[in-house]
């Protein structure tokens, strides 16, 4: 599996979120051998949980599956630049690589806002890559929110 395949899967999760009335953001966590450990989408509304972002849900599912809160050697694919909360969780989980489709100037914390991984208080920094399908991810978000205005 390659970055395009994994981001396609994350986009499918984002579409599922939109169909459920949640912000269309998806995440997929992949192990060292290329196996999908977890896939999730945003669900704070349905779960009544403000922390139920796609990235955190994927990290939780994988940690439970592996029986370890640390996820070394993994790659996380996210359709949108993670917020500060998600960036913190990625750091604590020791994710090796983060692949992001679309940048988020309003709420992102990787290239925008607090630039979480650049802070001296950040103890673990994943390799960060801009992934494929940025335009598709941004359009999905734009269309979702435009329909709600």
pLDDT for 72 equals 97
Distance (Å, rounded) from C-alpha 112 to C-alpha 96? 20
Check which CATH number belongs to the domain holding 13 and give it.
Answer: 3.40.140.10
pLDDT for 10 equals 98
The order of strands in the sheet holding 36-41 is 36-41, 26-30, 75-80, 97-102, 127-130
Contact of 7 with 38, CB cutoff 8 Å: no
Binding residues for Zn(2+): 53, 83, 86
Active centre residues (catalytic): 55
Binding residues: 53, 83, 86
pLDDT for 148 equals 82
Name the pLDDT band for 149 (thresholds 50, 70, 90): confident
Distance (Å, rounded) from C-alpha 41 to C-alpha 20? 10
Domain interval for residue 83: 3-19+26-127+136-147
Task: Note the pLDDT tens digit of each residue in 13-58.
Answer: 999 999 999 999 999 999 999 999 999 999 999 999 999 999 999 9
pLDDT for 69 equals 97
The domain total for the chain is: 1
Distance (Å, rounded) from C-alpha 16 to C-alpha 90? 23
Instruction: Of 146, 147, 95, 136, give the one whose Cα is nearest residue 11.
Output: 136
Percent above pLDDT 90 for the chain: 97
């Amino acid at each position: 599996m390659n970055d395009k395949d994994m981001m396609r899967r994350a986009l499918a999760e984002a579409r599922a979120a939109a169909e459920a009335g949640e912000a269309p953001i998806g995440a997929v966590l992949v192990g060292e051998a290329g196996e999908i450990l977890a896939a999730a989408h945003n669900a704070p509304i349905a779960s009544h949980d403000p922390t139920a972002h796609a990235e955190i849900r994927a990290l939780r599912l994988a940690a439970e599956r592996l029986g370890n809160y640390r996820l070394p050697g993994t790659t996380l694919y996210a359709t949108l630049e993670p917020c500060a909360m998600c960036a913190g969780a990625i750091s604590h989980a020791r994710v090796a690589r983060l692949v992001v489709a679309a940048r988020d100037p309003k709420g992102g914390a990787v290239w925008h806002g607090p630039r979480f991984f650049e802070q001296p208080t950040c103890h673990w920094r994943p390799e960060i890559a801009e992934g494929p399908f940025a335009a598709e991810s941004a359009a999905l978000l734009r269309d979702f929110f435009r329909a709600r205005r």
